[in-house]
Structure 1
């Protein structure tokens, strides 16, 4: 039963007790692992036949535990606090986010392999030990010689590549170069989106941790026990 529903039940019991002359006889602060606890006990006088009554009673939870459980694994803190519905939402979000991340990574890797193979076939590129910067140059210039000439005009000597078989390229057509550009850009976009998804995963962890803490704070314990001399005690415990 949710905390709001439990509170409504308790208020109904208290109003009923006040109307029928039931005595509110004690308040105390029992020990609880979750920190400060407020407890109210209500004595119900009943001369009728004693019956065993069992109501929903829940364990107190540690607020720090709920926070760090969800920070490590979204939904874990909600499960710890007893809110399965909220836990399912965060777990589902985490699953979808990681699946999306790996999908983008796989697509980016596939496109990278495609543009490397395409550059080798249509521009004579040697793909061994080449970095991202090199492929950007291959994309923007028809040949290594055109690239080096452009850098010399810019007086950017440090950007020059040796004109040998290791770094040589020359496109067989402008259309091929454009196709390579499309493949490389698709790969980069996929990897960039994977990074964005990682940001979403971090946010999901933080939101889940905060929600887990909130669930632990509003945790309530309500219980009913039968007294040996007749009557019953209704206990309400609020953790805050």
Structure 2
């Protein structure tokens, strides 16, 4: 379910980014075409609106570049847009997240290796099978709690089952056959719990890293749009018809603010 959610988000973001960049290209292309071919006569120029919407002189931020930077390092796109503090926050979350991930994952794996060695030393499948055989000889049937079967290989499931389920308790070296108590099993389960705790924490951190990247990308796109909208409103080039000697002459005006 988690993988499906991630793939769905990535798919819709890809479509959104593509449409955003494509629409920007179409807008620029249409403007360039009109500038070159749309006003090739004073008659056509005179028939247009008195002052067309202004066009940017320069200095627009690139969606492609901002998205690429944010994809490489969350927050880099924000710094590119001029949001230095916000960009540093995203970078900080990314760096801290990966630091926590590697720390917790390493601890979890180390403890996992320890409890695997502990189980290989103090739990024996032969001892467990011997107990079952004695039970059959005494009662003429299998124990009633035989609800699980061990894998043939020592997989993750194997190491989970020998500690989790009561039916395997007699495989532990110190098991009391009368009451099924084993202190080694309890120690083993505690180590397994500690390992799983660190590994689950590492997995949670990866989710936080993913969310941070998504928010960073969205913020980057919004930042580019806001920056470009501001530039368009301040630094523009306009096509204005000017009447001279009873003729309409195309003129260009610039407006720059700083």
Give the TM bin, normalised by the shorter chain.
0.5 to 0.7
For 1:75 and 1:141, locate their aligned partners in 2 and report how far apart those are by CA, in whole Å: 48
* C-alpha distance after superposition, 1:12-41 (max 9, x if no partner): xxxxxxxxxxxxx99731355xxxxxxxxx
1:73 aligns to 2:73 (yes or no): yes
State how 1:1-240 maps to structure 2 within 5 Å: 28-30=54-56, 59-124=59-124, 130-141=154-165, 169-173=171-175, 174-219=182-227, 220-221=230-231, 235-236=256-257
For 2:122 and 2:65, locate their aligned partners in 1 and report how far apart those are by CA, in whole Å: 58
The Cα of 1:71 is off from its aligned counterpart by: 3.3
Gap regions ≥5 residues in structure 2: 1-50, 127-151, 176-181, 236-253
SS in 2 for 1:172: coil
Query: 2:74–2:87: 8 Å Cα contact kept in structure 1?
Result: yes
Structure 1 length as normaliser, TM-score? Answer: 0.55
Are the structure 2 counterparts of residues 29 and 115 from structure 1 closer, same or farther at C-alpha, using a change threshold of 3 Å?
A: same
Which structure shows the higher helix fraction?
2
Gap regions ≥5 residues in structure 1: 1-24, 33-58, 147-168, 224-232
Structure 2 length as normaliser, TM-score? Answer: 0.52
Q: CA RMSD in A?
A: 3.2
SS in 1 for 2:91: helix
* C-alpha distance after superposition, 1:74-108 (max 9, x if no partner): 01211221222111110000001111111110111
The Cα of 1:129 is off from its aligned counterpart by: 5.2
The Cα of 1:119 is off from its aligned counterpart by: 1.7
The Cα of 1:64 is off from its aligned counterpart by: 4.0
The Cα of 1:124 is off from its aligned counterpart by: 4.6
For 1:170 and 1:82, locate their aligned partners in 2 and report how far apart those are by CA, in whole Å: 63
Between Structure 1 and Structure 2, how many residues are aligned? Answer: 155
Q: Which has the higher contact order (CA 8 A, sep 6+)?
A: 1
Are the structure 2 counterparts of residues 85 and 115 from structure 1 closer, same or farther at C-alpha, using a change threshold of 3 Å?
A: same
Query: 1:122–1:171: 8 Å Cα contact kept in structure 2?
Result: yes
